[in-house]
Amino acid sequence: NSFVTRTNTCGELRAAHVGQKVTLYGWVQYQRQGLFLVLRDFQGLTQVIIPQDEAHSHVKELLSSAPVESVVRVTGTVSPRPLGQENPKMPTGDIEVKAESAEILNSCKKLPFEIKDFTKKSEALRMQYRYLDLRSSRLQSALRLRSRLVMRMREYLCNLHGFVDVETPTLFKRTPGGAKEFLVPSREAGKFYSLPQSPQQFKQLLMVGGLDRYFQVARCYRDEGSRPDRQPEFTQIDIEMSFVDQAGIQRLIEGLLQHSWPEERGSIVTPFPSMTYEEALAEYGTDKPDTRFGMKIVDISDVLRGSNIHFVQNALSYPHGSIRAICIPQGVRYLTNKDLESLKESAKSQFNQEIMEIICRPDGSLKSLLTKFLCEKEQSELIQALNMQEGDVVLLAAGEHKQVCSALGALRLLSANLLEAAGLALRDPTAFHFLWVVDFPLFLPKAENPTELESAHHPFTAPHPSDASLLYSDPTKVRSQHYDLVLNGNEVGGGSIRIHSAEQQRFVLEKVLKEDSEVLSHLIEALEFGAPPHGGIALGLDRLISLIVDAPSIRDVIAFPKSFRGRDLMGNAPDYVTPEELEPYHIQVSWPLEEKEAKKN
C-alpha cells in the first residue's frame, strides 16, 4: 500500500484487523438488496456491510445504487462476521467492513459480459474488451505469475551468473531463410526495414564485441498465420554465451528454470533427460515428444518380415521401408468404431498413410484382416513385441520410415485425446516433463523443392564436430549442434552452438543454401575479426507460461494479444492510412477491384 491513499487491499484483511478503521478502493463485484456488497481489487475480495441507520442514509443510497464494476472508495471499521456466517472459501471470510463513508469514483455502464471466470464469452468479445477481461482472476493470476517468473530469471542470469541485459534494435534488415518478416517502409524510395524474428545476429555480434554473456526479454515478430501457440509478436528469453558448449547451455537453462519455477507448481528435477532427433522420431513420431504417457511407436518389421502379406513385403523392399505400430491401452472399451475410423481417416488425409487395426480379444486372440496371413508364432511374437493386453487396439502402418513414424506420432496424440475424453486418465495435468532433443540434421530438403536444402534451425548453426568434414562432401548427412527444450510435447526453447568461422559461414550460405551472402556481409565480416566460439538459446516465454498455468492458448497469458488472424480487435489494428500519410514513404496502395467499388459506395 505504499504511495497510495488506501490503508489496505481487499485481499489482506483478517481477524487480526478487527476494530481497525480502514480505507479500501476497488470495483463493486456484487451487491445484494442494499444490505452488503463485495469489493474487489487485484489481491482479493472484501465484504462491505452497507449501513441501514438514518445517519448514514447517504452512504446507503450511494452504495445501493452503484452499478456492478463501478470503482468506489469505502472507509469503515473491520468487524468479525456474525457466528455461522463465516466463509472459509474466502481468505477474508472471517471479517467484514462496516461502511461509514463512501465515494463512487467512476460509475460503470452496462457491461458487454460479466467479469467472472466461469462466464462463457466468445474470445472475439473478450479481446474487443480486453481491459475488462483483464479484471478476471484467471488473467490477473497468469500475468502476475509471468512477472514473478521473469524477475526470478533476471536475478539468476544477471545477479548470480554475470549476464548483461542488452536491448537490441527492432528496426533492422531482411534475413534470408526462416519465417516471413514484417516490413516497415522508410523515407528512402524502395528501401524497407524489417522487424526481426529474433535478435539472432545482434546477440552473435555482442559476442564478437566481447560482452561474454548476453540476456534479453526480447520482443520478436513473425508475419505468419496465428495458431493457438503462435502470435505475430511474441516474447522470448534470449541468451548467448561465449566459450560455451552444448552441455554448458543445457546446465544453464536447467538451473534457470529450477531457480525461477513457481513454488505452487511443485519442483522440477534436473538434469532433464535427453533424446536424439532420430530416437524421438522413431519412438514418438515427432521432434517434440510428450513423454507423460507411453504408447510408444514399436518397430515390428522383423516380426512380419517372413509373412506373406503383400503390402508388408512391398514396404520392406524400399531402402527406408518400415512396419511400425502403436498399442492403445483399453482401446476396445474407450474408443468407438467411429473414433477408429476418424483416426484412420486422419492418417490418410494428413500423411497419405493407410492404417490397419488389430484388436486383442478377451481370450487373447487377435482380430484383424491380417491374422489369416499370420501363423500362431508370428501372432504370438506380435503380441509380445507390442505388449498387448486384452481389450487393447493396435494401429499398424507400413511404408517409408519418416512418413510412418510421423503418422503414428499424430495418431498417438489423437488417441490420447480420445481416451481422456472418454474418461481414461492418461496424462497428469499437474506433471511437467522436460526433455532435451539433440542431434538434429543440419539441413532438410525444402518442401517445395526436395532437391534444394534449407536450414533445419537457422543458417548460423554449427555442424556437429564429428560430422564437420561431411559438410563439404555430403551435407544431407550432417548433424547439427542444435538443441530443443520440450515440455509436455511442446517446444519451449531452441538454440545451438554457432558457426564462428567466416569461411564456414560463407560456405553454408553460398554453396549449401544457395543464399546471397551479401545480405549478411556485416556478420560474416565480424566473424573475421577474432570471433569467439559461442552459442545460445531462446525460451518462448508466452508458451512456457501458458503451459505452467494450463492455459488453452498463449493469448491467455499475454496482456494484449492479437486475434487468431493477427488483428487487434480492441484498437482495430491494422488500419487504413491516407494516401497523404503514405506519400513520404513512396508507397501507393493498389486496391482490388471489389474494394474500389465498395469504397465508392
Judge whether 434 and 450 are in contact, CB under 8 Å. Answer: no
Give residue-wise pLDDT tens across range 256-307: 999 999 999 999 999 999 999 999 999 999 999 999 999 999 999 999 998 8
Give the residue among 565, 439, 443 at the shortest CA–CA distance from 177: 443
% pLDDT > 70, the chain: 97
Give residue-wise pLDDT tens across range 217-231: 999 999 986 665 689
Determine the topology of domain 139-275+433-556 in CATH. BirA Bifunctional Protein; domain 2 (3.30.930)
pLDDT band at 117 (very low <50, low <70, confident <90, very high): confident
Q: List % helix, strand, coil for the chain (3-state, nearest 5).
A: 35, 25, 40
Task: State which of 120-124, 157-161, 316-320, 596-600 shows the largest mean pLDDT.
Answer: 157-161
The full set of domain ranges for the chain reads: 15-106, 139-275+433-556, 293-422
SS3 248: helix
Least confident of 118-122, 269-273, 298-302, 442-446: 118-122
* Per-residue DSSP letter, 184: E
Mean pLDDT score, 494-502: 97
Radius of gyration for the chain, computed over Cα atoms and rounded to the nearest angstrom = 30
Q: How far is residue 491's CA from residue 482's CA, in Å, rounded to a whole number?
A: 13
Q: What is the pTM of this model?
A: 0.93
Q: How far is residue 70's CA from residue 26's CA, in Å, rounded to a whole number?
A: 8
Give the residue among 265, 264, 284 at the shortest CA–CA distance from 275: 284
Per CATH, the number for 15-106 is 2.40.50.140
Please give the pLDDT value at position 170. 96
% pLDDT > 90, the chain: 89
Measure Cα distances from 61 to 10, 20, 33, 97, 111 in Å. Answer: 22, 24, 11, 17, 22
For residues 375 and 433, the model is more confident at: 433
Beta bridge partners of 436: 274, 485
- CATH fourth-level superfamily of 293-422: GAD-like domain (3.30.1360.30)
Please give the pLDDT value at position 597. 61
What average pLDDT does the structure give for the chain? 94
